[in-house]
Amino acid sequence: MSNKQFGFTRGRSTIDAGVELVQHIFGAWEDSRDAISIFCDLSKAFDCVYHETLIGKLRHYGVTGRALDLLKSYLSNRVQRVDVNGMKSSGSIVHMGVPQGSILGPFLFLVYINDLPSLVKDVHEIVLFADDTSLLFKVKRQQPTYDDVNNAISKVEKWFTANNLLLNEMKTKCIKFSLPNVRHGSGTISVRNKELEFVNSTVFLGITLDNRLQWGPHISKLAKRLSSAAYAVKKMRNLSDVETARLDLDLDLDWDLDLDLDLGLGLGLGLGLDLDLDLDLDLDLDLDLDLDLDLDLVGFGFGFGFGFGFGFGFGFGFGFGFGFGFGFGWLDLIGLVGFDGFGLDLDLEWI
């Protein structure tokens, strides 16, 4: 799979795609150039995948024999019909499109579009997120025409046509990313003799990008959304009960625990379930922890403690009446943590 593809790919996300695009823009600025990005809009891309072309590409990438026959069977003999007020048309065999909502659908589309980045890789950068295609070019400041850009987008449009994909020129937008107080050229970019629109900002995978990368439009949109949410919460506060206004708090802390421990344990159990526990621990640990908590806060307090001194403890409490050694609440032992080279001897009693 092309390393320019960020959609439906393990370990990659919209954030990675956004970072990739912004890094290319910064790279152009560092070279004392402007960056022109073309955000291509494909009409119903998943529905336009031609089965015969897809099978040919699978064969090209080494899928043969029973595996290829299985995928052919998966795509073939699919029937569609129209239902209007209970009246159904006759069935028609579908020769295009990958089944959406399926596991294989996104994968098959990624295979279908995988050879696009190699088409014009020498003259521009490309960032793909499934069918969202963004092209980025470095251009000289004050350049009167964009011949290289027009030639490249012409090649890309021809590739789309050859692969039965339709580029919507009306929704395809261009942005010229440039530094302020710098004179710029005023060239145009066209596809099929239709001039593409230059805009000052556009939405890219949920992020509003502006032509100065100052993030003002994105922050403004977020502020409006958050303001509406805050107003709704304020109104609900006096109208609803605790259950209705429940707050769900998700904490994601990444810990990677590398633990060496030497443990000596003595255990005695007496009448009344009194427990005497003697621990002698020698810990040599690397601190890089991963903790995943999903907490519901409904009408009671929550405290979280993390600290170390002569003794070391890690725990959290919910205000219940449990006690432990140093006055913690209930100790839920997730990991024993120390720093590299730190020795710790503990004598604990739990009664």
Q: 305-320, pLDDT tens digit by residue?
A: 343 333 333 434 333 3
- Please choose, from the candidates 10, 105, 112, the residue with its C-alpha nearest in 3D space to the C-alpha of residue 61: 112
Q: What is the mean pLDDT of the chain?
A: 73
Residue 244: the pLDDT is 61
Q: How many CB atoms lie within 10 A of CB 174?
A: 21
- Separation of alpha carbons 258 and 234, rounded Å: 45
Residue 143: the pLDDT is 80
- Separation of alpha carbons 317 and 292, rounded Å: 16
Residues of the chain with pLDDT under 50: 247-351
Residue 268: the pLDDT is 33
For residue 41, the one-letter residue type is D
The tens digit of pLDDT for each residue in 233-287 reads: 777 777 766 566 554 333 333 333 333 333 333 333 333 333 333 333 343 334 3
Residue 42: the pLDDT is 93
| Percentage with pLDDT > 70 across the chain | 66
* Residue 192, helix vs strand vs coil: coil
Residue 153: the pLDDT is 92
Residue 229: the pLDDT is 76
The whole-model pTM stands at: 0.63
Q: Quick check: 7 and 150 in contact, CB under 8 A? A: no
| Sign of the C-alpha dihedral computed for residues 285, 289, 290 and 295 taken in this order | positive
For the chain, domains (ranges, CATH) are 14-50+96-214 (3.30.70), 243-351 (no CATH)
Q: Quick check: 40 and 153 in contact, CB under 8 A? A: no
